[in-house]
Chain A
Amino acid sequence: MSAEDASHPVRLVVRDDRRRGRLTVLFRLILAIPHLVWLALFGLAAFTLAFVMWLAVLYERRAPRSLHAFLASFTRYTVHLTAYLCLAADPYPSFTGSKPYPVDVEIDPPAIQGRWGAGFRLVLAVPAFVVSSTLGGSVAVGSAYGGAVFGSLGGLTATIGLLGWFASLARGRMPRGMRDAAVFAIGYGAQTTAYALMLTDRYPDSTPGRSEPPPELPAHPVALAVDDDLRRPRLLVLFRFPLVVPHILWLTLWFVLVLLATLLAWLVALVSGRVPRFLHRFMAAFVRAVTHLDAFFYLVGRRFPGFVGREGGYPIDLTIAPPERQRRLGVLVRVVLGLPALLLATTFSSIALVVGVLCWCTALATGRVPGGLRDLGAVSLRYQAQAAAYALLLTSRYPDSSPALQAPPPVPEPALLELTGLA
């Protein structure tokens, strides 16, 4: 956990072992009905009291402890329930939000808040609501809009919930990458809820991978490296769309050839169990070129990208491992196997679009993009690239939806004295 994350008043803590009871998974939505009814009532009380809290903060610049505790419980409850619904956690949650849960948040006690920020809190929170809706990380956000509670669980968590339901039923475990992605969305949703409910004046942090413990990032044949700053020249921001039109035309033509190449590669791989090197290079360059273009278009990258997808040619770069031996059965049914990944990639593309729009507005005003949003965009692009590489037979490794951009630092070896209990 970084120092910056440690200082955020709303911190995500994960103690989930990914094991899931098949029976409760099967009936998860039905089991959650009492909670959804309770959420509506709890939410009504919470948002009513949030108004009182708002007045109190405007007047005293600090939240009353009792109100803060109540709304913090509500926020924690929404975290527990969201995690339960999207299978990021297994135990049936309590109705109070006060008991520990495998996916939980720690919320700091009340602190001094600025009056201006408090006064315009709902307006300021709009971008966070937009991101949170796309991530679908909190059942509370829908209530904050005044909309239906049931409709608020959507976006990334809904897709993960759907895919995770099948995976958990089949294997009795939630896939690590999907669980971590859902946990990230839930963490952001909790920070948004806490911000909207005046629990803190710290803006939600969209930097992926900020949880305790940090999510894993296993080595993958398709990896993304970010080596870029956050500055964005306004002129290039303003004309982002027309500037990419030549790339779009070029990549559309290229895509036609890639489809033919994929068909050929599929036939060859079915026979030999390996994609020919020249086809692999051709299609890998295409996936890289699309990633470079997307990075530029969504303002994840600063510089105008090249047209040929050269490795090392862009600050948001994709490395794709050389062709490997693949199982013929996996090649044969690749289209079917790839469907869940493509569904999740579609969700990640929506996230990238939201990131792009928000970054566009921010960069036009300030000449910079927020680091958290940039990293979230990069994670989205990486998943899309991995899904494309899988579909195009560039790798047999399934895409990994881990929200981390970098692998967590290795845990230091405990000193001998600590091991022996003599320290």
Chain B
Amino acid sequence: MKALRLVVYALLVAGWLALAWLLWGSVVPDGLALPHVDVDTVFGKALVERAARYERFLLVLWALGTAVTLATLAIYARYGDRFTEESAAGPLGTGMLLGMLGLAILWLTQLPFTVVGLWWSRRHDVSHLGYFDAVFGDWVALGATFVSVCVALLVVMGLARRLGSWWWIPGAAVFTAVAALGVFVAPYLYTGLDRPDDPGLVARYERLERAEGLHGIPLRIESVSERTSQANAFAFGLGPSRRVVLWDTLLDGRFSPAEVDVVLAHELGHHSGDHIAKAIGWFALFALPGALVLMLATRRRGGMGDPRAVPLALLVAAAWALVTTPAQNLVSRRAEAEADWKALQTTHDPQAARGLFREFAVTSLGDPSPPTWAYVLLDTHPTLAQRVAMADAWAARQGR
């Protein structure tokens, strides 16, 4: 049995490394040297200082919030199993109850940080969201999170009760399948998206789409200007459900058409680079060891088949997410950098890219050059300074 276990582990490690190597590939030239960017010159000293001050407060808030999260979950892991008495729902239902209660407690403890963070963003005119909406508008989202946790616990506990300590292998596979399904259906469930009413924008988008070897991916506009002044866009969906979404704040006149084109090309770059499918692959790679850690950590509480292990499982899951965040951010930044590079290859307009990233610093108050620890722990995108540097590097390679 021990030999079998070793063989399984060896095969999984080999498979893990092979898949990681496959997913790691990028069209960004190997050894591309990014030139130094003087952020004070590019973004302006006053803006850099203002953005740094803005972000510093949010970083402190994040650190405090994370500490409170872990402390709360640690206390819940210690005492949470008392709530098993409050359930008449059998082991699986009781596990769901404990999972939802853990999240509810966490939501309560994070509420002050949400409110303070919102106050700070409103003070800097980055967010227009009301306090009431921030606190009570999230009840539906909280309900949706509860459902997700219930489904996850149903899978884990159901498998653990049938397969014992081997549940983590099929468990990771099921999670990945559920994640893929979620990614596929998300565009169909996402509400509040409109078709663009600017024929010029549509024509430019279709030209960029063809240039990236794509066809028939709908462009949609999301109206967020009542909630925030930040500018953003995103790509989501898989296969026939693929979409590119622009926030209407990108179209309010603060960004030139050429800058908007860079954004569109960047998002299309995610689709042409199969980044979303790759993200699911990375999800599987992180889920597998995560499930193993969960199995090992909860063994002393009777394993994941026992609802009393759920509070501890929440703590382990949160800690695992925190520990692996730098690695996940590294993967994300690599995909974003590739999308930036594809955008430059498509638009051939490094000037527009530089202008776009400068304007991002203004509208979102993003620190162009954040502290290293914050960059490692929190940034899913390259820094604005790095993105400007990439535009410069691309221009230099083209002899511009």
Contacts and interface: CB of A to CB of B under 8 A. Distances in A.
A241 B89 contact: no
Given A236-B101, A302-B86, A306-B88, A242 B146 contact: yes
B147 interface: yes
B89 A305 contact: yes
Interface string A238-249: 110111011001
Interface string B69-113: 000000000000001011111100110110011001100000000
A243 B146 contact: yes
Interface in A210-234: 233
Contacts of A243: 97, 100-101, 104, 146
A304 B147 contact: no
Nearest to B148: A246
Given A233-B86, A236-B101, A314-B88, A306 B93 contact: yes
A315 B86 CA distance: 11
B365 interface: no
Given A304-B94, A307-B93, A242 B87 contact: no
A175 interface: no
B174 interface: no
Contacts of B90: 306
Given A246-B96, A246-B146, A307-B93, A239 B87 contact: no
Interface string B99-139: 01100110000000000000000000000000000000001
A313 interface: yes
A314 B85 CA distance: 13
Interface string B133-157: 0000001001110110010000000
Interface in B39-92: 83, 85-90
Given A246-B146, A246-B150, A239 B88 contact: no
* Shortest beta-carbon contacts, A-B, top 9: A245-B143, A306-B89, A304-B87, A239-B104, A303-B88, A246-B150, A304-B97, A242-B143, A314-B88
A235 interface: yes
Contacts, number: 62
Nearest to B82: A233
A245 B99 CA distance: 13
A242 B142 contact: yes
A303 B104 contact: no
A235 B102 CA distance: 10
Given A238-B104, A245-B143, A306-B89, 15 more contacts: A235-B104, A236-B86, A241-B139, A242-B100, A242-B104, A243-B97, A243-B100, A243-B101, A243-B104, A245-B146, A246-B96, A246-B147, A249-B147, A304-B97, A306-B93
Given A235-B101, A245-B146, A304 B86 contact: yes
Interface string A146-187: 000000000000000000000000000000000000000000
Contacts of A304: 86-89, 93-94, 97
A304 B146 CA distance: 14
Contacts of A307: 89, 93
Nearest to B100: A243
Contacts of A306: 88-90, 93
A304 B85 CA distance: 9
Nearest to B89: A306
A238 B103 CA distance: 13
Nearest to B151: A246
Nearest to A228: B88
Contacts of B142: 242
Nearest to B101: A235
A249 B104 CA distance: 19
Contacts of A233: 83, 86
